[in-house]
Amino acid sequence: EAQVTQNPRYLITVTGKKLTVTCSQNMNHEYMSWYRQDPGLGLRQIYYSMNVEVTDKGDVPEGYKVSRKEKRNFPLILESPSPNQTSLYFCASSLKAGVPGELFFGEGSRLTVL
Amino acid sequence: AQSVTQLGSHVSVSEGALVLLRCNYSSSVPPYLFWYVQYPNQGLQLLLKYTSAATLVKGINGFEAEFKKSETSFHLTKPSAHMSDAAEYFCAVSVPNTNAGKSTFGDGTTLTVKP
């Protein structure tokens, strides 16, 4: 089954404790992206990747890191989480970079930073 | 820069009534436009997309949208609402070869369907 898998789905952590949210897709997609969803603000792009070893900042990259060492994986790293990073996070992928196409989304990771 | 405005953060209709969710876009070049639906505790899934072919686009679950260049709109409609349509809906715009084909999303519209 074609899918984007995120883990963990739910996480409560404390300020400053490093965490990683994993994302994996099994569709051989070139393009992957992370979004955060906050009430009334829609989805805002954090980082994106056009292919292996190619990543770039989105609209709200502060406080986040990413890597793309393999085509299928695109982890989101919070080196020192703060309460303003409490949010619902989505990983998404698309077949080709540079060509607008359907985004396939994971089920989301709800993060709470105390 | 591309942008999307969804008019009305909450829309409530009765079961069987027309559903109309509004989306206006801004883009300096012909855009691609998408509607996504998000059910509770799930990720977004594509309802339909416009990619410069037919201006009236049909999607899943009886939804359709019409691209109107003169009005810079891409409103989503469904003739008869069903209880299962209750969800949050997002309009998105993307421009070929710009920002890696990034999709920019609206703020979302929550649809409530009353029995």
Q: What digits encode the pLDDT tens for the residues B51-77?
A: 877 899 999 999 999 999 999 999 999
* Region at B58 (left for phi over 0; alpha for psi -120 to 50; beta for the rest): beta
Among A103, A105, A109, A110, the strongest candidate for a mutation testing the B interface, having the largest count of B CBs within 10 A, is A103
Residues in A closer than 8 angstroms to B97, CB to CB, are 98-99
As a whole number of angstroms, the distance between CA A11 and CA A43 comes to: 20
Task: State pLDDT tens for residues A55-100.
Answer: 999 999 999 999 999 999 999 999 999 999 999 999 999 998 777 7
Q: Among A8-22, A52-66, B11-25, B95-109, which stretch is predicted with the lowest mean pLDDT?
A: B95-109
Tell me whether A33 touches chain B (CB under 8 Å).
yes
Among candidates A31, A42, A105 on the partner chain, residue whose Cβ is nearest the Cβ of B108:
A42
| Residue-level pLDDT at B99 | 67
Please state, rounded to an integer, the average pLDDT across all residues of chain A: 94
Q: With an 8 Å Cβ cutoff, are A40 and B107 in contact?
A: yes
d(CA B115, CA B108): 23
| pLDDT tens-digit series, residues B64-113 | 999 999 999 999 999 999 999 999 999 999 887 766 678 899 999 999 99
Nearest residue on chain B to A4, judged by CA atoms? B43
Residue B37 pLDDT more than 80? yes
Cis bond before residue B30 (omega within 30° of 0): no
B46 with A41: Cβ contact below 8 A: no
First to last CA, chain B: 41
Chain B positions touching A41 (Cβ under 8 A) are: 107
pLDDT value at A108 more than 90: yes
Residue A39 confidence (pLDDT) above 70: yes
Q: Which residues on A lie below 8 Å from B9 (Cβ)?
A: 40
Averaged pLDDT score across all residues of chain B = 92
Instruction: Answer with the residue of higher pLDDT: A46 or A100.
Output: A46
Please check the confidence at residue B16 and state whether its pLDDT lies above 90: yes
Residue B9: helix, strand or coil by DSSP? Answer: coil
Please check whether residue A69 touches B, CB under 8 A.
no
Q: Cβ separation of A90 and B101 shorter than 8 Å?
A: no
Q: Between A109 and A41, whose confidence is greater?
A: A109
Q: What is the mean pLDDT of residues B20-44?
A: 92
Instruction: Using a CB–CB cutoff of 8 Å, tell me whether A1 touches chain B.
Output: no
CA atoms within 13 A on the CB side of A107: 10
Between residues A32 and A99, the one the model is more confident about: A32
Between A41, A100, A105, which is nearest B43 by CB?
Answer: A105
